[in-house]
Chain A
Amino acid sequence: MAASRVVIIKAGNLWTSTGAVDPAVITKMFARGFALLTGERNDAGALSSLFRPNDRIGIKVNTIGGRALSTRPDVALPFAGWLSRNGLQAKNLFIWDRTTRELRDAGYGTSADRSGIKVFGTDADGVGYETGLVSHLNVGSLFSKIQTEFATASVSLALLKDHGLAGVTAGMKNYFGAIHNPNKYHDFHCNPFVAEVFDAPPVKTKHKVSIIDALVVQYHKGPSYHARWAAKYGGLIFSLDPVAADTVGWSVIEELRAAAGLPALKDEGREPVYLATAEKMGLGRADLASIETVEETVA
């Protein structure tokens, strides 16, 4: 049962007067989310239930959408800071994506400081992709060395978006940014490829938790940014079950679409069928009825 718990944390005072988000509030949201997720009473306890003290943690963000529609730096950086204050070493924390340019375009200041939290892309000097292909089911890809070598544990700190081909992009599809050839896996609504990339050893053996940035959700015409169909949902979604996290994310998108008078993704023939495939593969639960969703608002 615990594996299929999904926690949604919102905050009443999240947005500042300038339209930014308050990092102190974000940190509270992480703390509460992990507490509800793990059942641990304090922050360090929650983290130690998921990570070892010496873990090198790759925090995979999604920055393909530029500043308007990426995992926000004011979410990822407070998260990494919170980890470093609660038993994990700052030098072992990597915020990363495909390219350093995309990270910069999304508003991240890149850093390779040896003692601090690092921010860089797979294309950074000395990084790159493995030269050995991982051939897994229908997938044949080179994985980022950040995923395979640098990180001993992996967090998908994704963004919640409608996706014209996949239906929904969230925590699982975020790992498309860990392979060299994601463009080859968008046929058939990305099915079964999203599930199979996640199931490949470099991801499956290291993934610890899905966190979905749903502060602003692109609920139509994604994955590109369109202000008209972007809503301030104001939530962070947490789960140890990657399929359940994305399934709940999908339901959020459907709620927003319905509120805007848009048809359901299924009616547009593009529901995220890879979630059912992932469930069949034993990666998690894709049926809302079998997912315990806990929603809370922090002060």
Chain B
Amino acid sequence: MKRRRFIRGAAGAGLLAGAGLPSVCSGLAAFGAKPNLSRVEARYYDKLPDREVECRLCPRKCRLGDKERGYCGVRENIGGTYYTLVYGKVCSLNVDPVEKKPFFHVLPGTSALSLAAAGCNVNCKFCQNWEISQVRPEQVDHFDLPPERAAAQAIESGCRSIAYTYTEPTVFFEYMYDTAVQSKRRGVRNLVVTGGHINPEPLADLLAAVDAVKVDLKGFTQEFYTEYVRGELQPVLETIRAVAKSKAWLEIVYLVIPTLNDRMDLIREMAKWVRNEVGDQVPVHFSRFQPMYLVKNLPPTPISTLEAARETALEEGLRFVYMGNVPGHEGENTFCPGCGKVAVQRVGYRIASIQLKAGRCDTCGTPIPGVWT
């Protein structure tokens, strides 16, 4: 269900345009494929003595000798200069409903040109896309899609936005940033789907170039991040705060995994934190887990657990709380906080109805925050 599909030969112009989704393949590269990696100097790193470098892109701060790669596997020290190996090297490209990201308060009912390059700076044991995120770039099929071509592709495909998604876009920062700048000039919005492991400096630069950020808050304890994410909670919370303070729209997703991060007291604590730190208007999505990657011994999240999580967050005062991966459930809908009527009705990734005018409830006129036009 969640396998991201790879479009063979999409470097050819206009492959997506008007053709719907082509027949595609996914996963690890056929061997014999030439690596054809990029060698574009990375941003946010320091050169150190003895040809060492220290990356400043994410909180890991990888310190690397010559010929070594960072934890992400896609940035390499070559002779004392740090390079991104995945600039414009797209391993997954699709036209997706924006609701699939999920963004529920951003251009509902529109499509997002969704792309990824290989790599990730954490290693979630429950990763839904590990075949492209937990590999090195030479291990997956990819093709060249320069920033200006990505922007053109979005327009040709009828997409209002480009979403940097599927893997961790932080690790292909340079490509994401340049693509955002290019596409913004052409009126295409830019949406980032991230785990939030990024340092403040690159994040600030990114936020000036993009329109919306969805942060995957994978749990609410450091223990969970240590054991199941191989990352740090605090930098993710800092990222959420920074996005909330910026002009970019923020949504938060919390994948609820049975027995691992589904304690209601923690979910309540998380909801309080969201309300107090970034406000009750920030949409929070509780998504349903499916067994994947290294966590195959747990069942899908019971719908009752998602309902309880949603109820808990609503009790804590959050205004827009959703359930994800439960098509047809009323928890997919946006309810007006003023009159309680359905403002946006969804069925899976489809929009059934929109009762909004200029960002206000059609029925009572209450403003509903988001990027609606």
Contact = CB atoms under 8 A, between A and B. Distances in A.
Contacts of A142: 28
A183 B67 contact: no
Contacts of A140: 125, 293-294
A197 B44 CA distance: 32
B57 to A, nearest CB: 15
B251 to A, nearest CB: 28
A192 B351 CA distance: 48
A113 interface: no
A184 B230 contact: yes
B63 interface: yes
A234 interface: no
A171 interface: no
Interface string A258-274: 00000000000000000
A180 B69 contact: no
Q: How large is the interface on B (under 10, 10 to 19, 20 to 34, 35 or more residues)?
A: 20 to 34
A129 B139 contact: yes
B71 A184 contact: yes
Interface in B45-71: 50-52, 63, 65-71
Contacts of B28: 128-129, 131, 142
Nearest to A125: B32
Given A129-B28, A129-B139, A223-B65, A183 B73 contact: yes
A63 to B, nearest CB: 10
Nearest to B79: A224
Contact of B72 (A126, A180, A183): A183
A64 B67 contact: yes
Determine chain A's interface SS by DSSP, over half rule. loop
A123 interface: yes
Contact of A184 (B51, B66, B123): B123
Interface string A45-78: 0000000000000000000111000000000000
A68 to B, nearest CB: 10
B136 interface: yes
B215 to A, nearest CB: 22
Contacts of A133: 293-294
Interface in B270-306: 293-294
B32 A126 contact: yes
A64 to B, nearest CB: 6
B65 A123 contact: no
B138 interface: yes
Nearest to B120: A184
Interface in B291-325: 293-294
A221 B31 contact: no
- The winner among A64, A125, A186 for most chain B CB atoms within 10 A is A186
B114 to A, nearest CB: 24
Contacts of A127: 31
Given A131-B28, A222-B65, A223-B68, A183 B136 contact: yes
A262 to B, nearest CB: 14
B134 A224 contact: no
From B32, B63, B293, residue with most partner A Cβ within 10 Å? B32
A123 B71 contact: no
B50 A125 contact: no
Interface string A169-189: 000000000001101101100
A139 to B, nearest CB: 9
A224 B31 contact: no
Contact of A183 (B27, B32, B63, B70): B70
B294 A224 contact: no
Interface in A86-138: 99, 123-129, 131, 133, 135
A226 interface: yes
A164 interface: yes
B237 interface: no
A127 B230 CA distance: 30
A219 interface: no
A284 B27 CA distance: 37
A143 interface: no
A164 B134 contact: no
Given A181-B123, A181-B135, A183-B70, 14 more contacts: A124-B31, A126-B31, A131-B28, A133-B294, A180-B135, A183-B71, A183-B73, A184-B73, A184-B134, A223-B65, A224-B51, A224-B52, A224-B68, A226-B50
Q: Which 9 A-B pairs have the closest CB atoms?
A: A224-B65, A128-B31, A125-B32, A224-B66, A183-B73, A140-B294, A184-B123, A135-B294, A183-B71
19 contacts: A65-B67, A66-B67, A123-B35, A126-B31, A129-B28, A131-B28, A133-B293, A133-B294, A135-B294, A140-B293, A142-B28, A164-B63, A181-B73, A181-B123, A181-B135, A183-B70, A183-B71, A223-B68, A224-B65
Interface of B: 27-28, 31-32, 35, 50-52, 63, 65-73, 123, 125, 134-136, 138-139, 230, 293-294
